[in-house]
Amino acid sequence: AQALESYRLAAKIAAQTGPQKLESLATVDEAKLEEKAGDTTSALELYQRALVLDESIHDQSASAEDWFAYGRFLQSSHFPPRLVYACLVKSTMLQGSVPDSAERQFLENASRQAGTEAAAIRRDPEPFLQAALQLRP
């Protein structure tokens, strides 16, 4: 509870003072805590907020990390595999590669689970990403 309050305070301070990168970092960290606490609704909204912030500040590195984290969250929360895979594809596009074997394995599994839609997602992930950002619990 104290950690959540600290993240909320950090995000609020960042929002008031302008450093959106700090706000994004605090928001995604809070999302991870909410996810661990089992609050899918709050986690979903927080991940989406962090991704919007990343986009607004054009931070490719943070965006890549956050898209990957969002994909993992969607997978563990049983959202459609096509949306999970789209998040991972976006992360990989921003990074230029998948850095380690565990992430590469996760990406390959997500591709298999996306099935016949995987090729379309690789060609143009944007419609799937927009759907992932519009998800509601």
Position 57 confidence tier, pLDDT thresholds 50, 70, 90 = confident
- How far is it, in rounded angstroms, from Cα 60 to Cα 68? 12
Q: pLDDT value at position 18?
A: 58
Name the 3-class secondary structure at 102.
Answer: helix
Model confidence over 22-44: pLDDT tens digits?
Answer: 778 888 888 998 999 999 999 99
Position 62 confidence tier, pLDDT thresholds 50, 70, 90 = confident
Closest CA to 30 of 73, 63, 94: 73
Position 118 confidence tier, pLDDT thresholds 50, 70, 90 = very high
Position 8 confidence tier, pLDDT thresholds 50, 70, 90 = confident
Residue 3, token pair as written in the block = 């950690």
- How far is it, in rounded angstroms, from Cα 103 to Cα 38? 23
